Structures are given as structure tokens and as C-alpha cells.
Amino acid sequence: MSYVDGFVLAVPTANKETYRIHAAAAAVVFKEYGALKVVECWGDDVPEGKITSFPMAVKCQPDETVVFSWIVWPSREVRDQGMDKVMADPRLQPENNPMPFDGKRLICGGFEMIVDL
């Protein structure tokens, strides 16, 4: 079954278009190295929780929006090899494609798919 990398981050709301351009450029690179699909979602209805929530998890500030994204890979093996190549690709180096958000508050993880309908 496929493998998924998931991400949650806070992006300055004023940087929405800059982030979209950054994410679209990154998606091209991820797909070149084996990703099947790259999805970026701009928060629209993301409530603040009392104990935990997406906004709390990324310490979202009032002038920021939560972004939820994922990358689908054919397998963990393809992901591991592809991610190594993505991280080394000059197109995604900070000096060439700076992140329009605080990367220290990015939450990410790899997940084995167990249901895909």
C-alpha cells in the first residue's frame, strides 16, 4: 500500500500567494523524485481547541493560517529514496527557494496507509 508524508504548519496569512508558489515549485520536485500526488490545503475552518488543535500544535498566531498538506508515495522505499533526492535538490535549497513560514513550527511525519477507499 502507498506511503504518505503529512505536514501541518502556520503560514503568515499575507504570504498565501508566496506560499502557493513555493509549494507548487516544491511539488514539481517531489513528483520528479517519485511522489504520486502532492496536496496543499489552506485553512478555512480550523477551530482553536481547548486541549489540542491544529492551531495550538503549530503555535498559530492571529496573523497566520494553518496549512495542512500531504504527499503520497508508492511505497516507503520510494519515499525514502525520493526524499533524500528532494532534500539535496538545489531548487529547494533555502537560498534558491526560501520558506515563507517558520520551519521550526512545522509538524511532519510519515504514515503507512491502512485504508484507501
DSSP strand pairing (37-42 vs 64-73): antiparallel
Q: Is 41 helix (H, G, I), strand (E, B) or coil?
A: strand
Residues 6+ apart with CB under 8 A from 87: none
Please tell me the distance from the alpha carbon of residue 18 to that of residue 99, in angstroms, as a whole number.
9
117 occurs within a structural domain: no
- pLDDT one digit per residue (tens) for the chain, 117 residues: 899 999 999 999 999 999 999 999 999 999 999 999 999 999 999 999 999 999 999 999 999 999 999 999 999 999 999 999 999 999 999 888 889 999 999 999 999 999 999
Output the pTM of the full model.
Answer: 0.94
What is the number of domains present in the chain?
Answer: 1
47 occurs within a structural domain: yes
Please tell me the distance from the alpha carbon of residue 71 to that of residue 69, in angstroms, as a whole number.
7
64 occurs within a structural domain: yes
Domain holding 103, by residue range, is 3-112
94 occurs within a structural domain: yes
49 occurs within a structural domain: yes
Q: Are 65 and 57 in contact (CB under 8 A)?
A: no
8 occurs within a structural domain: yes
Instruction: Report the CATH number at residue 13.
Output: 3.30.70.100
